[in-house]
Structure 1
Amino acid sequence: MIIAIRRVIKEHAAQWLGLVVLAILAFGLFYTPGMRRSAGAHAWVMDINTEKIELPEFRQRTTNIQRQMAMLRAQYGKIADLIFQAQGLSAKQEERAMQTLMQETILNQTTARMGIRFSSEYSMENMPRAQQELFDTIPMELFDPYHGLNVKRLHHWIAQQGLSEKFLENAISNAFSRQLLKDLAAQASYVPAYALEHEALMRTAGHTFSVLSFSREPLLKQELSKPVSQEELLAFYNRENAKNQRYWVPEKRSGFFWSFEPSSYGITVTDQDITSYYDDHKSQRFVQDPAKVQVRHILFAVPSEADRQAMIEKAQSVRSQLIAEPTKFAALAQEFSSDKTSAKEGGLLPFFARGEKEKAFEKVAFTLKANGDISEVIATDKGLEIIQRVEKKASTFKALNQVKTEIEKALLDQKFDETFTAAAREIIDQYAQNPTVLDTFVAEKKGKKTTISKIDRTNEEWGKHLFRLGKGDVTYSLEKNAGVLILLTEITERHLPALADIEQRVTQDLHEERATDALKKQVLEAKKAARNQSLDLVHKQMGGTLETIAQVKPEDKKALEALAKKGLPVEQMFQIEKKGGLIDYKTDTHGSLVRLDELETLNKEQIAAILASKTGEFERESTGLFVRGLIASLARHATIKVNEIEKEELDEQDVASEE
C-alpha cells in the first residue's frame, strides 16, 4: 500500500537518479541495439530507442505470461489481479508482455551504457540467483523448487521455441545486470520518519466507511426495453470487430495426443545410479544442517558521515590491541561495542548460517580460517565492525535412505526425458512414410490416447504445439510429469459470422455497453453531488444502496476478504487518508462511492510499537515503489514506437486466446 510513502518518497531523488542514468545514456559507453538482439527479417511490434522487438519475441513473451497468469489465478483466484496491480503490471497478457519487454529493454540499454555486464560463464553457473528476473522469459515450471533449473527441459524448451543458446546466455546476463541496476537504485531510496509514522497509522488504525453502491441491472432493464435499429446494430458490430475482433470465431484444431509416464515406460534406475547421484549432488541438494559459525563482534556505530573517519581510527586502534592480544576480545567488546546486548556477553553472537546475517558481515565471518582469527575493520549497515571467529560447525547431510525415493524419481525423470525425446524424434522422422510406427510405439510404451475435437488455443504445452503443426503432422512435448505425442488431423479456419447469424448476441452486447455507460455517468454525477452533501442525501436523491462499514482494520484479512467479495475496491478504500475523503470505483456492472467517516487515533507509544516490528517491511515496499518510479522515469525519456499494423495482425491471430 505505502500510502504516505507513495507521495513523499523523495520524488526529486527519483528524478535526480533518473537524470544521472540518462546522462550516462547520453555520454557513456557506446551502445548499439545489436548488442541485445540482431536485426532480422521478422515484423516488429515495438521500437525502443531504435531497438526493435520483433513479433516472434513478443509472441513468446505473451505465451509465457499467459501461462504465469493462469498459474497465479489458479493459486490466488481473484486476488491475483490485485497482485498484478500492486506490482504496477497489467492483468491483460498482451499489455503485460509489452510492459515487461519495454522495461527490460530500457534497463538493458541503461546497464549496457553504464558498462554493467556479467560473463556468460558466471551467469549460467548462477542462473537461479536471477530466477525472479527470468520468470517473464523462461517458464516458471522449468525451475524446480528443490533442484533448481531443469537444464535438460530448458534446452528442450529452447529448441521448441526456435531460440538459440546465445539468446539464453544473453537473457541471463541481462537479468543479472538489470538486478544490479535495481539494487543500486534501491540504495538511493529514503523514507523519512514522519512518513513511516503515517504509514503505521494507516496500516493499523480502524477505518469506518460509508458506501453508496449502484448496480447496472436496473439501467440494463431500461435499455432492453428500448428498440435498436439495424443501422445502430451494424455500426456497433463493425466497430467492435475493427477494435478488437470481438465476434471473430477463432481457428480450431482437432487431432489426438498420447501421454506417456516415466513409471510405465520401462525405465530402470539401479542402486548404483542412486548412490552416484547422491555423492555428486550431496553438498548442493541434500544438506540437513548448513555450515554455521559463531563469532564475537565489536560494533562501532557511526552517528554521521562527519564522524566516520574518527570512528575508523578508533576501530583500527582497537583492532591493533586485539591483534596483539586476541584473548582480550570479550573485554574490549564490553568496553567499546555499540551493540549493548551482545557486549554484555563479550560480543558473542549465537551460531548462524549463510543467509541469516547481512552479506558483508556474513562473508567475513565465514572466511575466517581458524578459531580466534580476527577480521579487518569492515563496513556494514550498522557501522564499522571487527569480528573474531569462535567456532565453526561443518554442514551435515541427509542420509541416503532419507532421499533415495526423491533421487530415484529425479533419475527416472531424467532418463525418461532422454529416451522419450530420442524415440519421439525417430517417430517424427518416419511417420510420413510409415504411419504404423506411431501405433506400434503407443502399444509398446502403453500410451494413453486422448481425442482433441475443435479446440481453441490453450496454455497447455501440447496445445501450443498442436497449433504449430501442419495437417497430418506429428510432434512431441515434454510436460511436467509426462511425455506427449501429438497428431493434427483437422483445421477449422478462423472466420467472422454474419451479423444475421449472431444478431441476438450483438444486440445484448450493445444494450450492456449502453447500460455500462449510463452507470459510469450516474456514479460521476453522484460523486459530484457528494462533494457538498452527505451520502445519505445523495442516496435519497439518486437511489442506489447505502451501507455503513463498521470499523475495519487493514490487518484484518477476513474482513478485507468479505469486503472484496462484495465487489468493493478494498485497496483504494484504505488509501483514503483524511476523514471525509471520497473515492469512486466503477466496473462494467457496478459502481460505488466510498467515504472515510472515521479514522481511529493512535498515540505515539502505539505507533512506536508498530514501527519496532514493521519499519523494515515499510521500507522494502517503499524501495520497490522507488525502483518502479525510476523505470517509469526512464520510459518517459525513451523514444518508444508501436507498430500498430503488426499489432493489429497479431491481435487477429491471437483472438482465440482472448476469448
Structure 2
Amino acid sequence: MITQLRKKLSGTLTHIFLVVSVLGLLGIFSLPMIVKQGAKPWALKINGRTIPQIIFEREVSIQTDRIAEIKNKYGQFADMLFQSMGMSTDPKALATDLLTKKTLLDDFACRNSIKIAHTYANQKVVDQPFAQQFLGDTVPPFLYDKDGSFQTMLVRVYLQKLGLSSDMFLSKVQESIERQIAIALVEHTMHIPLYEQNLFLLNQHGTKIIDYLVLDRKDFVEKAKKTVPSMQVLQQYFDEKNKTAQTYFVPEKRDVTVWTFEAGLYDETVTDDQLFSYYEKNKNKEFLEQQSQVTIRKIVYKEQPVNGPSIATLQEELAKKPALFAEYAKKYSQDEPSAKKGGLTDPLIYGASSSPLYKAAFALKEAGDVSPVISVDNSFVIVQLVKKEPKKYKSFETVKRDIALSIKKTLFKSHFGKQLRNILKDGIVDTNELQKLVKIHGGSKKIVKGITNTKKDDIAKTAFSIDKKNKGKVILHENQAQVVLLDNIEPTYLPEFNDVSDTVKNDWYELQGALALQKAYQEIQKDIANTSLSEIALRFNLPLKQVTFKGSEDKHAFKNVEKYGITYEDILSLEKKDSFCCSMTANTAFFAICTASELPKEHTDISAQEKESLERATKQLIIEGLIASLYRDAKIETNESLSIPLEDYMI
C-alpha cells in the first residue's frame, strides 16, 4: 500500500492539490446520478442496468464543458496535466467511464443490502443543508428558494429535461444516498499505521544517501573481444540471423529516371467569372477573416440568494423589462467579474464551444432579447443579447491572385496530368510523345540510382510500385508533375559469408556483451540482499558511486541517475537504510542501496495537511481497488450505433 501511496504523493503537496482540483473539475470524485430505467435508445447496459441516451448525452455535455474549463484554466499546461493523470480528453470516453463507475457502485450497494427507506430519501431531498452537502450532483442547489423550499416550476422543468418523473427522481436520490453510504463504509476500512506515516515523511522531507553501481554493456563487449570466435561459430551465427531475420541480406535496389514538369511552365487561362465563382464557393473555408460573434450580458445564480428573487422570477421580469438587465446583473449575479460590468462578457465566437451558454446566446435574434433560464454546469443563467456581429471575409480583390494560383494548380493537375497519362499506355512509356511534351513545356531529367524499399519518399514508393523495367508511373503534386521510369532492378541477394565476416564478428561481440550484461544483472539481483554493493563493485572492478537526495523534489540529484533507466518510483522505494532497487536497459544495469536515511528535526511530525492528503490518497486507492474489482466481474454493453447530437439544455 505505501508504495502505491508514494507514487500518488510523489512531488510536493501543491502538485497533489493541483491534480485533485483538476479531478474535481472533471467530476471524478463526485457521484452524479444515473438513471437506471428510461426511454430508449440506450447508451450503456451494465449488469442489466440501462443508461438511456438522454442521460449519456447530458454527461457528455457536462464533460465537454469541464474539459474546456480545465483547458481555459491551465492553458498550455492543460494537455500535460491530462497526460500526467492518464486521463482522456474525449468527453464520450469520460462520460462512459464515469457513468459505468457509478452504476457499478449502485450495483455494489444493492448486492450488499445497503438500503434506505423511501420516506428517508423524501425527507432528505427537502432538507436543503443535507442536499447541498451530500446530494449536490443529484439535486442542484438552484432547485431551492431562499427559504429552503423547492422552486416547483424549476423542479418540474429540470426533471422534464432529464426525462424523469418525480418518483424516478426520488429513486435517484435514494440510490445516491445508498451509494455514498457504501463508499463511506468501504473508506472506513482505511488504516494508516504510524510507520507508513513516518515513511511518507521520510520520502517527502528526508535526506537519503544512496550508493549505486552501473554496469555498462560496452565494457562487456570489450571483454568479449578478448576471445576470438572460430569461423565455424561465426558461420553458424551468420546462418541463424539470416534464417530468422534476414539480417545480412542486401535489399533490392532500383534505378529510375525522373522527368519533372513545373506548373509555372504550363500556361492556364483563368477568367474573372471562374475567380469569383471560386471565391463565393470557398469563402467560408478559405477566406473567413472573423467568425460571427455576439456580445452578451448574463446573470448567473450559483445558489439561491438569501435576500433576492428566484432565477425564474428574475427571468420573467427581465423578459418584460429588458432595460433593467445591467442593473439586475450588478445586483444579483453571482459571477463577480461580469457582474461588476453589468453582466457584460467578452464576445463569444461562433463554434468556439458547444456550451448551452453559447447556444442560448446565438439563438437570440435582436439586441435586448432575453433568453429563458438555462442550465450551465450546475449554475442557472439568463442571457441578454447586446449586439451580434456577422462573419467577416477577406475581400475578393485581396485574394484574387491566390485564387488564380489555386485554380491554375487544379487545372494543371487535371489537364497536364491527363496528357502525361496518355504518354503511359499499360505502364509503357511512349518516349517520342514524352520528348514532344518536354520540348513544348520544358522539363528536367534526373537519374536516381540505388533506391531501396526502406525509403518513404514519393519517388521510392513509386519506383517499387512499378512491376517491370521500362515501365513508368505519373506522380501529381500541386506545383509539379513527375514521370518515373524504371530503368533497372537489382534483386535482393545474400552475400558470401567471407565478404561480410568482419561485420558478422562485430555483431557477435555485441550479442555476447548483451548476454553477459543480462547474466551479471541476474546474478547481482540474487546476491544483493546478502552481499554489499562495494563487494560487488570489486568483483566487476567498477567504481561505487554515491548520490544524496534531499527530499522528494531533489531534481538535480535525480538527473545524475535517471540516464541509467532508474525511475522516480525506484528512488522512492528506497525508503529506509539497506533497502535496494535494480533496473536494466539495453545498455546498462543499475543497482542502488540506501546507506543512510534521516528525517530533519523540523519534520518529525506529520502535519494536519499532510495527514489529510495521505488519508485522501489512501481512500482514493481503496475506492479505485473496489471499482477495479467490480469491473472484472461486470457485464458491460455499449451501443456502438449511438450518435451523440449537440444538445441544447435550455430550461
Q: Give the letter for the 2:374 counterpart.
A: I
Residue of structure 2 equivalent to 1:463: 460
Residue of structure 2 equivalent to 1:476: 474
* Deviation for aligned residue 1:260: 2.1
Q: Deviations over 1:375-401 (max 9, x none)?
A: 233232353322211112222223345
Q: Deviations over 1:208-236 (max 9, x none)?
A: 99775432222111111213234433443
Task: Pick which of 482-491 and 229-238 moved more.
Answer: 229-238
Alignment partner of 1:360 out of 340, 356, 368 = 356
* Deviation for aligned residue 1:583: 6.4
Would the aligned equivalents of 1:539 and 1:546 in 2 still touch at CA under 8 Å?
no
Mapped to 2, the partners of 1:548 and 1:486 lie a distance apart of 60
Would the aligned equivalents of 1:461 and 1:479 in 2 still touch at CA under 8 Å?
no
* Deviation for aligned residue 1:206: 14
Alignment of 1:405-424 (within 5 A): 405-424=401-420
Mapped to 1, the partners of 2:225 and 2:232 lie a distance apart of 17
* Deviation for aligned residue 1:538: 6.2
* Deviation for aligned residue 1:434: 3.7
Taking structure 1 as reference, are residues 397 and 434 closer, same or farther at Cα in structure 2, changes over 3 Å only? closer
Mapped to 2, the partners of 1:424 and 1:493 lie a distance apart of 29
Mapped to 2, the partners of 1:599 and 1:397 lie a distance apart of 66
Determine if the alignment matches structure 1 residue 318 to structure 2 residue 314.
yes
TM-score by length of 2: 0.54
Q: Give the letter for the 1:484 counterpart.
A: Q
Residue of structure 1 equivalent to 2:221: 220
Would the aligned equivalents of 2:44 and 2:636 in 1 still touch at CA under 8 Å?
no
* Deviation for aligned residue 1:326: 2.3
Mapped to 1, the partners of 2:418 and 2:378 lie a distance apart of 57
* Structure 2 residue matching 1:373: 3-state secondary structure: coil
Q: Choose 1 or 2 for highest CA Rg.
A: 2
Residue of structure 2 equivalent to 1:287: 288
* Deviation for aligned residue 1:476: 0.9
Mapped to 2, the partners of 1:260 and 1:633 lie a distance apart of 62
Residue of structure 1 equivalent to 2:61: none
Taking structure 1 as reference, are residues 350 and 419 closer, same or farther at Cα in structure 2, changes over 3 Å only? same
Would the aligned equivalents of 1:254 and 1:488 in 2 still touch at CA under 8 Å?
yes
Residue of structure 2 equivalent to 1:338: 334
Alignment of 1:528-539 (within 5 A): none
Q: Deviations over 1:215-272 (max 9, x none)?
A: 2222111111213234433443333233322222222211211222222233344555
Would the aligned equivalents of 2:360 and 2:371 in 1 still touch at CA under 8 Å?
yes
Residue of structure 2 equivalent to 1:4: 8
Taking structure 1 as reference, are residues 416 and 584 closer, same or farther at Cα in structure 2, changes over 3 Å only? farther
Task: Pick which of 273-282 and 578-587 moved more.
Answer: 578-587
Taking structure 1 as reference, are residues 350 and 12 closer, same or farther at Cα in structure 2, changes over 3 Å only? closer
Number of equivalenced pairs: 439
Determine if the alignment matches structure 1 residue 349 to structure 2 residue 350.
no
Residue of structure 2 equivalent to 1:449: 445
Would the aligned equivalents of 2:214 and 2:591 in 1 still touch at CA under 8 Å?
yes
Taking structure 1 as reference, are residues 358 and 563 closer, same or farther at Cα in structure 2, changes over 3 Å only? farther
* Deviation for aligned residue 1:486: 0.8
* Structure 2 residue matching 1:246: 3-state secondary structure: coil
Q: Deviations over 1:154-174 (max 9, x none)?
A: xxxxxxxxxxxxxxxxxxxxx
Determine if the alignment matches structure 1 residue 371 to structure 2 residue 372.
no
Q: Give the letter for the 1:366 counterpart.
A: F
Mapped to 1, the partners of 2:479 and 2:580 lie a distance apart of 52
Q: Give the letter for the 2:385 counterpart.
A: R
Q: Give the letter for the 2:237 counterpart.
A: F
**Percent identity of paired positions between Structure 1 and Structure 2:** 23
Alignment partner of 2:499 out of 498, 501, 514 = 501
* Deviation for aligned residue 1:364: 2.2
The structure where helix makes up a greater share of residues is 1
Residue of structure 2 equivalent to 1:240: 241
Mapped to 2, the partners of 1:568 and 1:592 lie a distance apart of 6
TM-score by length of 1: 0.53
Mapped to 2, the partners of 1:412 and 1:604 lie a distance apart of 73
Mapped to 2, the partners of 1:466 and 1:367 lie a distance apart of 56
Would the aligned equivalents of 1:462 and 1:484 in 2 still touch at CA under 8 Å?
no
Would the aligned equivalents of 2:565 and 2:585 in 1 still touch at CA under 8 Å?
no
Would the aligned equivalents of 1:223 and 1:514 in 2 still touch at CA under 8 Å?
yes
Mapped to 1, the partners of 2:408 and 2:457 lie a distance apart of 23
Gap regions ≥5 residues in structure 1: 29-114, 117-177, 193-203, 304-312, 608-628, 639-659
Q: Give the letter for the 2:447 counterpart.
A: T
Task: Pick which of 420-429 and 530-539 moved more.
Answer: 530-539
Q: Give the letter for the 2:423 counterpart.
A: I
Residue of structure 2 equivalent to 1:43: none
* Structure 1 residue matching 2:259: 3-state secondary structure: strand
* Structure 2 residue matching 1:279: 3-state secondary structure: helix
Would the aligned equivalents of 2:423 and 2:429 in 1 still touch at CA under 8 Å?
no
Alignment partner of 1:389 out of 376, 385, 398 = 385
* Structure 2 residue matching 1:487: 3-state secondary structure: strand
Would the aligned equivalents of 1:248 and 1:494 in 2 still touch at CA under 8 Å?
yes
Q: Give the letter for the 1:483 counterpart.
A: A
Mapped to 2, the partners of 1:554 and 1:263 lie a distance apart of 60
* Deviation for aligned residue 1:509: 1.0
Would the aligned equivalents of 1:255 and 1:486 in 2 still touch at CA under 8 Å?
yes
Would the aligned equivalents of 2:366 and 2:385 in 1 still touch at CA under 8 Å?
yes
Q: Deviations over 1:485-512 (max 9, x none)?
A: 1111222222233434322222211110
Mapped to 1, the partners of 2:270 and 2:205 lie a distance apart of 60
Mapped to 2, the partners of 1:220 and 1:387 lie a distance apart of 73
Provide the aligned C-alpha RMSD in A: 5.5
Would the aligned equivalents of 1:249 and 1:495 in 2 still touch at CA under 8 Å?
yes
Would the aligned equivalents of 1:249 and 1:496 in 2 still touch at CA under 8 Å?
yes
* Deviation for aligned residue 1:446: 2.1
Taking structure 1 as reference, are residues 206 and 255 closer, same or farther at Cα in structure 2, changes over 3 Å only? farther
Mapped to 1, the partners of 2:397 and 2:560 lie a distance apart of 50
Q: Deviations over 1:610-649 (max 9, x none)?
A: xxxxxxxxxxxxxxxxxxx9xx999x999xxxxxxxxxxx
Would the aligned equivalents of 2:295 and 2:386 in 1 still touch at CA under 8 Å?
yes
Q: Give the letter for the 1:294 counterpart.
A: T
Taking structure 1 as reference, are residues 208 and 633 closer, same or farther at Cα in structure 2, changes over 3 Å only? farther
Q: Deviations over 1:102-130 (max 9, x none)?
A: xxxxxxxxxxxxx99xxxxxxxxxxxxxx
Mapped to 2, the partners of 1:255 and 1:598 lie a distance apart of 71
Mapped to 2, the partners of 1:534 and 1:593 lie a distance apart of 11
